[in-house]
Amino acid sequence: MTPTSGEFRDGAHWLPVRVYYEDTDFTRVVYHANFLRFMERGRSDFIRMAGIDHVFLDGQDDTAFAIARVEIDFKKPARIDDALVVRTVFHAVSGVRLHADQQVLRGDDVLAQAKVTAVCVGPDGRPRKPPPAMVQLLKPWLSGN
């Protein structure tokens, strides 16, 4: 079943994504870098639905996230008009890092999967521990809990 909007279920966040012409190359196959864009949307929607939107982050001394590492495996192509789902699970907050696993699925087929490490940064761009209020909002959604 494909959800109609981002939702939490089965311990994960699920975000539907439709493949549009702009996401594809000349063969109408999704350009590989666009899988990263789909995953970014999944992480952003997860964080927003957990109560950590941009207004909240601004109120936390302009806290932001930067991606420090992405390890991605491409399994199968996605094509124009495909209905995809991005599945996101955050595992832990450790020091300045947030660790997540993501998959892009078409039905039961895994098209791409990634391990992502995001780093919390301050307005100067330097890594710093996430504000305690943010960690509290994330805590119920971390798979390690």
Distance in angstroms (rounded) separating the CA atoms of residues 27 and 21: 10
Distance in angstroms (rounded) separating the CA atoms of residues 130 and 144: 17
Catalytic residue among 10, 23, 25, 124: 25
CB 16 within 8 A of CB 85: yes
Known catalytic membership, residue 124: no
Distance in angstroms (rounded) separating the CA atoms of residues 139 and 130: 12
> For residue 45, which of 1, 87, 74 has the smallest C-alpha distance?
87
First to last CA, the chain: 26
Active site residues: 25
